[in-house]
Chains A and B, each alone.
Chain A
Amino acid sequence: MTARTATDWEKTPAMPDGHFVSGRVYTDDAIYADEKAKIFRKIWHLACHESEVSNVYDFRATDYAGIPLVVVRGRDGVVRTFINVCSHRGAKIVNEPSGNAKRFTCFYHLWSYDDRGACIDIPRADGYASSGLRKEDAGLRAVRTEIHLGLVFITLDDDAAPLADFLDGALAPFETVLGQGNLEVFHYNSAILDANWKAWQETNLDIYHEYMHVLLRRTQMTAGKMDERAMTLHRNAHAGSGGLKADYERYAGMKARPKELMLPGIAPDAFFFVNLFPNASLLARGTVLRIDTVTPVDARRCLVEWRGLAPKGEPDADRIMRINHHNQYWGPFGRNVPEDAFAVEACEKGFAGGGAAFQLIAREENMSGQDDGMLRAWYGEWARRMGRAPGDPVQGEGERT
């Protein structure tokens, strides 16, 4: 027999726990609500790069799992973050994605806030005298913000452990290149994909999927040795992989990355990456860096944001070449990223109506080659935070939603 019966299809895979994931983690509304409360309101999230708010009064407005945020560099040079809604009627205040402003004035009733989130003006404030409202008590909601290696992290949890504890040294492979403090974002694009947010992060945790990309089959799978690859796991399921190589000239029209365009700490033929639980990835490929973040729009859609980083002030010719290197793989017209996006939407189609029952994350190659160990670690952390088993996440809670 080759194809399986309905019973066999739905049966829990006969393999150790942690080696498979129920399709319900992608589709169940109760699980999604839990994820917002137990993961997205608790973790440190990579909101932007420091260069996006490089000057005093620069701001960067962004969305985080449906919550509008604004990151601001204050007059004292400190980067702070606030929930981007007015204390008065809850309207979103800052609607431009970025800019420079000494104060933020809500369009609705012209309440104003300064760069530290203090409410500095309420028109005709006397009208609140009898109800006791004072502008001193009407500041914006501050969001804890820390910067590490130029990356701006935020958490909605005032009681969260410090960022360094959360990261557990996972960004060490990027310390040299990010630590130089001379990078800027030259590429930004975002897309709402028709897929659960986890499916995107899985593409960055799943090295086995390099088979999908003809570009990687040609330039990467044959360039290095599988057993020279090494994955590293950290607390909180942050995970990285190094030892991957690229031979760019094996793909028509591409050239080897020139040494003079190297970024500090990255060899021209190197490819390595770090995934931060639950939703960020940093990738270094020869001459360019990429940062991904994914956040849910709802259970079935996610917002993916991609950034490309390069040295500030480099000669135009170098920048053009670096942009070209970035775009060959990444960006909306790259040879690589659109295929990843296609894959996550295809998985959504598989799981959305219950067609697919499980996904398998069972490859073991001693944390080398194309081991699924990063995926298993990720789902282990998901289970710890959610109090749910990835292979059986609802445990009799009811029908599929």
Chain B
Amino acid sequence: MSVVSNELRELVHRSCFALDREDFSEFLSYCAPGFQYRISAYSPEIRKQMIWFDQDYGGLESMFEMVSQHLKRLGTLFRHPSMGIIDRVSDTEMKIVTSVLIVDTDPNGRSKLFAAARYTDTIDLSGSDPRLTARFVNLETRDLGVGSHIPL
């Protein structure tokens, strides 16, 4: 595993852990100012690719400010990333596809699978630290129960 691969792996994991802790400012610290975040899923019912959530950096910032005022699912979501394919797009840009299982643990400590998904992350390597410029989450799971106010 190269030094760059290790850095990318660490970035993906750190971004997951930040969201697990709902430390949104830390999550945003891993994102470039032009960051794009999108959750999509394919519906075999209507035979369309659907967008379920789509925000830029500023949109996420606004949303995160409001999260604490919303009624939201109890317990925690833990993201379990399993890095798969790393492609170099250019000297300063990498693309990583990561399989993710997201486990929901309720306040009584009972865990169940919340979602299976795949991240496609684009990462900028031009600065001193790698930064996410895009995360596209493609959901395999479409029944999300009560849903989520927090990005996956």
Contacts and interface: CB of A to CB of B under 8 A. Distances in A.
11 contacts: A98-B45, A186-B48, A188-B46, A189-B50, A189-B143, A191-B143, A214-B66, A214-B70, A332-B52, A335-B66, A338-B146
B44 A338 contact: no
A98 B147 contact: no
Contacts of A191: 143-147
Interface stretch (B19-27, B57-65, B84-92, B122-130): B57-65
Interface string B27-57: 0000000000001010111111011111000
A123 interface: no
A97 B146 contact: no
Nearest to B41: A189
Interface string A325-341: 00100011111011101
A253 B73 contact: no
Among B65, B72, B146, max chain A CB count under 10 A is at B146
A332 B148 contact: yes
A185 B58 CA distance: 29
A60 B45 CA distance: 7
Contacts of B58: 253
Among B41, B45, B73, B144, max chain A CB count under 10 A is at B45
B52 A97 contact: no
B146 A327 contact: no
Nearest to A332: B147
B71 interface: yes
Given A252-B65, A327-B53, A339-B72, 7 more contacts: A60-B45, A188-B46, A189-B41, A189-B142, A192-B145, A214-B66, A320-B51
A187 B62 CA distance: 24
A253 B63 contact: yes
Among B47, B65, B73, max chain A CB count under 10 A is at B47
Interface string A81-121: 00000000000000011100000000000000000000000
B14 interface: no
A182 interface: no
Given A98-B45, A193-B145, A342-B146, A253 B59 contact: yes
Contacts of A341: 145-147
Nearest to B48: A186
B62 A98 contact: no
A338 B143 contact: no
Contact of B149 (A52, A324, A333): A333
A212 interface: yes
Contacts of B41: 189
Nearest to B68: A214
Contacts of B46: 52, 98, 185-186, 188
A187 B50 contact: yes
A168 B50 CA distance: 34
A251 interface: yes
A401 interface: no
Nearest to B59: A253
Contacts of B148: 332-333, 338
Nearest to A49: B46
Nearest to A215: B70
Contact of A97 (B44, B51, B53): B44
A29 interface: no
B69 interface: yes
Given A338-B72, A342-B72, A192 B52 contact: no
A139 to B, nearest CB: 26
Nearest to A48: B45
Interface in B127-152: 142-149, 151
Interface string B66-83: 100111110000000000
Contacts of B145: 191-193, 341
Contacts of A212: 71
B88 to A, nearest CB: 30
A176 interface: no
Among A214, A320, A334, A342, max chain B CB count under 10 A is at A342
B39 to A, nearest CB: 6
A298 interface: no
Contacts of A96: 44
B102 to A, nearest CB: 13
Nearest to A212: B71
A366 interface: no
Interface in A332-389: 332-335, 337-339, 341-343, 345
A43 interface: no
Contacts of B47: 98
B140 to A, nearest CB: 13
A252 B71 contact: no
B147 A338 contact: yes
A190 interface: yes
Nearest to B73: A342
A140 interface: no
Contacts of B65: 252
